[in-house]
Structure 1
Amino acid sequence: MTARSQSLSTSDAQPFPQKLSNDPVTNKAAQTTVTCVYQTHIAGFWRNVTVLWGKNLMNYSLSISVDSVEKEGVYTCKIDLKPWHFWAKKGYKAFEVDGNQMEAYWDLRSAKFSGSPEPVSDFYVVLVSEEEVVLLLGDLKKKAYKRTKARPALVDAMLFYKKENVFGKKSFSTRAKFDRKKKEHEIVVESSTSGPKDPEMWISIDGIVLVHIVNLQWKFRGNQTVLVNKQPIQVFWDVHAWLFCGPGSNHGLFIFKNGEGEGESDEEVEGEEDENGSKGDESECSENSKYFSTHSYSKDSKFCLFLYAWKIE
């Protein structure tokens, strides 16, 4: 069965099964991307929904992908938010996932941004299945429910994985919420890898330096557990490319993970993720179960942030 798309906005878009690549676009395009993977309950199954925000010199983009439980692959609804196409900043599209109709609504006309392609306020993006809001992003929740006329989900979608590609010279920033019930934190990585002094690196959260590495040329890989509002956060880093590769040829990698260390090694920093970045084991339950998919739902799943920092000159 192929995915079909219906559009009630000005343009038509054909969702298609695809694999999400872990590689960013070429450095010439310098496209900043943010990938967020949510676990949601859709049409009787737990499914991963991947939201990909992108920004380059020309425009913003938004792509929503929903995992299939009937075959390998995902169904994708892509939205280009070109600045000269004002209508695209608010719209609606319908598409099918395993024979079930999905509806995507968005309003980004007043969205506020802070350097990242992911908005910080004054927007909503909604995914509806069977008249239920299975995913709601943004702070304009009342407007979102009024527009969709759909009921809230019995179980809220859970963000368990975030990946961001950022470009900069010495400073790289992102934000993350390590606890769904608490506020978002500002994360900044700063480095000094050139000049007469030995290379150094600082990692701060909410303006407080929690990791300071001197003699970075000898400590370009490592990990440390820090406390953020009394909550332990594991921090991994690998910046070999910053020191020993050509400018812009590769990235530094930073991983932020909830919880105390459980025997992880530095090698885990270089580990490969699956297409959606998850390292979780497959569920042992039957694929025919109406309440489980290949990724079982767990409220105790640990959030993980991957920051790919690309140095440009």
Structure 2
Amino acid sequence: MRDFPSCFGENGVEVADTLCSNTNVSKASQNVVTSIYRCKLLGQSCFVTITWSKNLMGQCLSFEIHDLASFCLCKVDVKPSLFSKRKGSKCLELNRSSKIDFYWDLSLAKFGSGPEPLEGFYFAVVCKGEMVLLIGDLRKEAFKKTNATPALSNAIFISKREHLFGKRVYGTKAQFCNKGQLHDLTILCDTVADADPCLVIHLDSKMVMQVRRLRWKFRGNDTILVDGLPVEVFWDVHNWLHGTTLGSAVFMFQTCFSAEKLWTSQTFSDSYTSPWSCPQSFTESKLSGLGFSLVLYAWKNE
């Protein structure tokens, strides 16, 4: 989790990822989506990181488990030669008395332009017969294959990082709370034709944020409401407007769980109120001490 951007100050976002400063990074190496989940493993909290990637050799999948001190407990890389089989499993020993099983099936998976499957798949983590983590829409198939029982504590989706490509429009799917609705997120910015560019963000075709005079406000933050929750939006488009070398703009969507943010958003942002809500997910995330972060790197196509 250390390579995610860290935001500070009231009007700024500082980016700490090496990809943003490396001008020689190929598009293939940027074709990566990383998701992090917080789970319970043998009674202890841990983080499961799943990375989908695509390069000249084909699609890859890797997953690793860290404890709260960022110590790596285990890691598995599914290389293109194995990934081509589209389904498989892997068993690793955590210690002398415990092992962990990984299962995946992408034989029916449907992919979009990115490396992450959209539907028709499952990825499962099982420990001592308990389903620690299950992602994908083929849930019945996953339970049948693994013979696992549902976990007493549900896994929580806490962060995602991905790369987007476009000329003026950048789109992706986004889920801002655990088990919440999947939304269409679109970022629109024309930095060439317009002498005074404007940044616009749409959620499910509805405009939720607009930043004018972007050349002066190339870094900043604002708060919107999504699924009834306040979401703070950080942006840094300096590389688009003032950079001398090719680089990405960075956007971070961070759910806010402070009472002050919630009250302020509901009071002053009524126009952004969404008909959807996820109070259970709000409670689970609040009790865990973690919100959700979506980090997007937007690269301009030449």
Task: Report the Cα offset of residue 184 of structure 1.
Answer: 1.0
For residues 40-77 of structure 1, give each alpha carbon's deviation from its aligned partner in whole angstroms, at most 9, with x where no partner exists.
Answer: 11122111111111123542211111014798335211
| Structure 1, gaps ≥5 residues long | 1-18, 265-295
**2:53 is equivalent to residue 64 of structure 1:** no
The match for 1:306 among 291, 295, 302 is 295
1:90 to 87, 90, 95: 87
The letter for the 1-side match of 2:203 is I
Taking only the aligned residue pairs, the percentage that are identical comes to: 36
Alpha-carbon separation, structure 2, partners of 1:297 and 1:81: 38
Match of 2:146 in 1: 148
After superposition, the Cα gap between the structure-2 partners of 1:74 and 1:203, relative to the gap in structure 1 and judged at 3 Å, is farther
Report the structure, 1 or 2, having the larger helix content.
Answer: 2
Q: How does 1:232-243 map onto structure 2 within 5 Å?
A: 232-243=230-241
Q: Which moved more, 1:229-238 or 1:301-310?
A: 229-238
Alignment of 1:1-313 (within 5 A): 22-24=17-19, 26-68=25-67, 72-81=71-80, 86-87=84-85, 89-99=86-96, 100-195=98-193, 197-246=195-244, 248=246, 250-259=247-256, 298-299=287-288, 301-313=290-302
Amino acid at match of 2:150: P
**What is the identity, as a one-letter code, of the residue corresponding to 2:89?**
Y
- RMSD between superposed Cα atoms in Å: 2.8
* Counterpart residue number, 1:293: none
Q: SS in structure 1 opposite 2:117?
A: coil
Distance 1:38 1:209 in 2: 29
Q: Measure the CA separation in 2 of the matches of 1:225 and 1:69.
A: 29
- Taking the aligned partners of 2:163 and 2:184, their CA distance within structure 1 comes to 16
TM-score with structure 1 setting the length? 0.74
Name the residue aligned to 2:280: none
Cα displacement (A) at 1:28: 4.9
Q: Distance in 2 between matches of 1:171 and 1:30?
A: 21
SS of 2:118 mapped into structure 1: coil
Alignment: residue pair count = 261
Aligned equivalent of 1:274 = none
How far apart in 2 are the matches of 1:229 and 1:147? 34
CA contact (8 A) 1:252 1:308 kept: yes
Aligned to 2:10: none
- Secondary structure at 1:298 match in 2: helix
**2:294 partner amino acid:** L
**Letter paired with 1:130:** K
Alignment CA distance shift 1:247-1:30 (3 Å) = farther
Deviates more, 1:20-29 or 1:135-144: 20-29
| CA displacement, residues 106-160 of structure 1 (integer Å, 9 cap, x when unaligned) | 0001111222322121100001111111010101011001101111111111011
Q: Can you give the 5+ residue segments of structure 2 that lack an aligned partner in the other structure? A: 5-16, 262-284
Mapped partners of 2:128, 2:115: distance in 1: 30
**Does the residue aligned with 1:302 lie in a helix, a strand or coil?**
coil
* 2:183 aligned partner, one-letter code: H
* Rounded Cα–Cα distance in structure 1 between residues aligned with 2:157 and 2:292: 7
Runs (4+) of structure 1 exceeding 4 A deviation are: 19-22, 68-71, 260-264
Partners of 1:133 and 1:65 lie apart in 2 by 16
The code of the aligned residue for 2:59 comes to Y
